[in-house]
Amino acid sequence: MTTVETTGDEGMYLFNDLPLKELKSKYDFEPTERWADELRLSSVRFNSGGSGSFISSDGLVLTNHHVASDTLHKLSSADRNLIDDGFLATSLDEELQAPDLELNQLVSIEDVTSRVAEGIEKNASPAEAAQQRRAVIATIEQESLEKTGLRSDVVTLFGGATYHLYRYKKYTDVRLVWAPETAAAFFGGDADNFEYPRYCMDATIMRVYEDGKPAQLEHFLRWNEAGVDEGDLVFVSGNPGRTQRIFTVAALKYLRDHRMPYVLDYLRRKEILMQQFGLDGVEATRRARDELFGIQNGRKAYTGMLAGLQDPNTIATKQRREDQLIAAIKADPELAGTESVFAEIAEIQTEKAKKLGESVTFRSRLYDLALTTVLRAAEDAKPNEQRLREFTDSGRESLVQDLLSEAPVYADLERVKLADELSRFVETRGGDDALVAKVLAGKSPRQRAAELVDGTELFDVAARKRYLDGDYAAVQSSADPIIQLALLLEDEYRQLRTHSEELDERERQAYAKLTQAVSKLQGNSGYPDATFTLRLAYGQVKTYTEDGEEIQPATDFAGAFEHESSHLGQTDFDLPESWNRHKDALDLSTQLNFVCTADIIGGNSGSPVVNRQGELVGLIFDGNIQSLTSDYLYTDQQARAVSVSGVGILHALRKIYGADALADSIGK
């Protein structure tokens, strides 16, 4: 499996297990411990899903515009459209505080595999093992939090063969410093998304604060001022979300024939829903925009992933590798019986296919708040180590930040989303289902959603706080219709979740066994599948060929203006007014975007790209369409990671956005 059989620049490596041999042999590069520590400590993770980096001693953070867009959206209103218009704070007091952002800096890594293993009884059933594992993990996290004061997460690696304790320094006071217009950040729109060549200023700068003042940072990235060249070795430090490279053929077929078509139907449904909502007018468009962008991005990514899986050659390649592995396992007497994990995993996929879409949650902010309110109250009555994962003490601060976020909740949007979720619930279970009848309470999905949204107090942060301070009895006696709905569904929710976690546990155990076998057969190097934790990838700035044409690795500002004029009259192909106004002041040959072969995936958005000296040269914001299969199969034939060039960001700040002072403070 991919834990060793890597090709090209494949790999998302743990910072405590870097591919030193490969880097030395392929690129004659030996990272020092200091080099790696500086890069790790300059990297941050966004709780909203994405990566970033510290870029100055006074707390500046660089990430993508599309990672920040959740915050830009929450900070916007009918009168202040940060998404369309961009933003620049010209002094500290103009910086805008994000309502619920949390940034994590990875401070240390500790292997706790044996302690987790000791917490599980030898002959525990999968359900018992899951429960015991949860308990020991909660205890480890809680002890670490008490000891260090740091956010402490136990991370499952190699499909459950390894457990590491990650300690993070948290930043929860994060403020917006600069964002360009979406027309510049997402130039080319949905049409250009996952395409290359690109010309996007997909960057935003924030600042972390401590005690109300800009955080003083010891570790941050210096910037390279020259741009990249073909062949340059570069490194990406970020938090890839999830890969599935260890997946067996049966698991990939489940994705191909069940999960991905299901998710795509779901995404298309929500895309049309958000589009329709936006037809109501300019303000409605603004309210739906952030969610619509995320949905479209997901839809395009999944379409590419499914296309790869539907190519018979993909499965054939994976099958060949799997056959070889099974043969090797069978030939090794010490691994006798291990091949049964393939059948076990296949069986789990069949069960998953049957359960697909079984859910009693409704995706809307109000219902999320209601369910979290109910579960929080119920879970808090239990000892810490018996609680559901997201309600243990170590995660409390993050939970509270989310529950009490002042981010606006739009009644009209909630009504439409909830009505659609109720309608989907009727579709999934059938209109005659007893629970459906209880949920609808004799009304149509639309009427019921209106009733729930009109009747709830959960728009009000004070009301949420009241529940948070109260116990389960207080929640139970609530007259709030959406709280009552969450209570009605609580039992069913818990049953479904327990069943699904049992399946996950069985799968985890099977993959752990498989990973151990692979390690025994092929040695213990390599990297685990991505888990939204910090990884290091490496690669080269490199051209590639598409439809017979050689694609140059870098684009420049001149190309952006040409791209605009060759797409006249098309939506999303107008550069913002600011770019056209300052065109004459620009050095049009300045690098804007570039590609490299580093192994990235969703979650890497906003990752810094650094050179051998550890200097920032770019900012990951996308992968091309050929890279979308990298979820389950890395290739560097055409697949490329796409970055905004660091020099491009500095140039835009100085020449387009009048942000000289900000540009001057970067890297210092």
Q: Which residue matches tokens 């449904």? A: 269
272 binds a copy of itself (CB under 8 A): yes
Residue number with CB closer to a copy of itself (257 or 393): 257
State the nearest-atom distance from the C-beta of 411 to a copy of itself, in Å.
16
Q: Which residue matches tokens 């930040």? A: 401
Q: Go through the chain and tell me how many residues it has.
A: 668
| Cβ atoms 353, 254 nearer than 8 A | yes
φ and ψ at 62, to 5 degrees? -105, 135
343 binds a copy of itself (CB under 8 A): no
State the nearest-atom distance from the C-beta of 86 to a copy of itself, in Å.
19
Residue number with CB closer to a copy of itself (250 or 388): 250
Per-position b or e across 183-215, b if 16+ CB within 10 A of its CB: bbbbbbebebbbebbbbbbbbbbbbbbeeeebb
Stretch of 62-70, 277-285, 467-475, 646-654 contacting a copy of itself, by CB under 8 A: 277-285
State the nearest-atom distance from the C-beta of 204 to a copy of itself, in Å.
25
279 binds a copy of itself (CB under 8 A): yes
Residue number with CB closer to a copy of itself (17 or 283): 283
Bridge partners of 163? Answer: 156
Per-position b or e across 399-425, b if 16+ CB within 10 A of its CB: eebbbebebebbeebbbbbbbbbbbbb
State the nearest-atom distance from the C-beta of 268 to a copy of itself, in Å.
5
Residue number with CB closer to a copy of itself (312 or 333): 312
443 binds a copy of itself (CB under 8 A): yes
Residue number with CB closer to a copy of itself (308 or 539): 308
DSSP structure class, residue 536: E
545 binds a copy of itself (CB under 8 A): no
By CB under 8 A, the residues from 554 to 573 that bind a copy of itself are: 567, 569-571
* Extended beta strands in 196-265, E state: 204-210, 213-214, 233-238
437 binds a copy of itself (CB under 8 A): yes
322 binds a copy of itself (CB under 8 A): no
Q: Which of 92, 117, 226, 282 contacts a copy of itself by CB under 8 A?
A: 282
By CB under 8 A, the residues from 163 to 192 that bind a copy of itself are: 189-191
Amino acid (one-letter) located at 105: Q
CA distance 32 to 30: 6
**Binding mask of the shown chain, residues 405 to 434, with x at each position contacting a copy of itself by CB under 8 A:** ------------------x--xx--xxx--
Least Cα distance to 247 among 133, 113, 131, 352 occurs for: 352
**Three-state SS for 555?**
strand
Q: Which of 74, 175, 287, 299 contacts a copy of itself by CB under 8 A?
A: 299
CA distance 573 to 559: 13
Q: Which of 8, 261, 408, 658 contacts a copy of itself by CB under 8 A?
A: 261
CA distance 203 to 247: 34
Residue number with CB closer to a copy of itself (190 or 393): 190
- Strand 43-46 with 554-556, pairing: unpaired
By CB under 8 A, the residues from 240 to 259 that bind a copy of itself are: 253, 256-257
Q: Which of 141, 202, 232, 271 contacts a copy of itself by CB under 8 A?
A: 271
309 binds a copy of itself (CB under 8 A): yes
| Cβ atoms 342, 272 nearer than 8 A | no
Judged by CB under 8 A, the number of residues near a copy of itself is: 46
350 binds a copy of itself (CB under 8 A): no
Q: Which of 30, 117, 118, 281 contacts a copy of itself by CB under 8 A?
A: 281
447 binds a copy of itself (CB under 8 A): yes
5 binds a copy of itself (CB under 8 A): no
178: left (phi over 0), alpha (psi -120 to 50) or beta: beta
Q: Which of 123, 313, 477, 565 contacts a copy of itself by CB under 8 A?
A: 313
Instruction: Give first-to-last CA distance, the chain, whole Å.
Output: 43
**Three-state SS for 590?**
coil
Residue number with CB closer to a copy of itself (298 or 658): 298
Q: In terms of DSSP H, where are the helices of 106-198?
A: 113-118, 126-148, 182-185, 189-192
Q: In the complex, which residues of this chain contact a copy of itself (CB under 8 A)? A: 189-191, 253, 256-257, 261, 264-265, 268-269, 271-272, 276, 279-282, 299, 306-313, 315, 423, 426-427, 430-432, 437, 440, 442-447, 567, 569-571
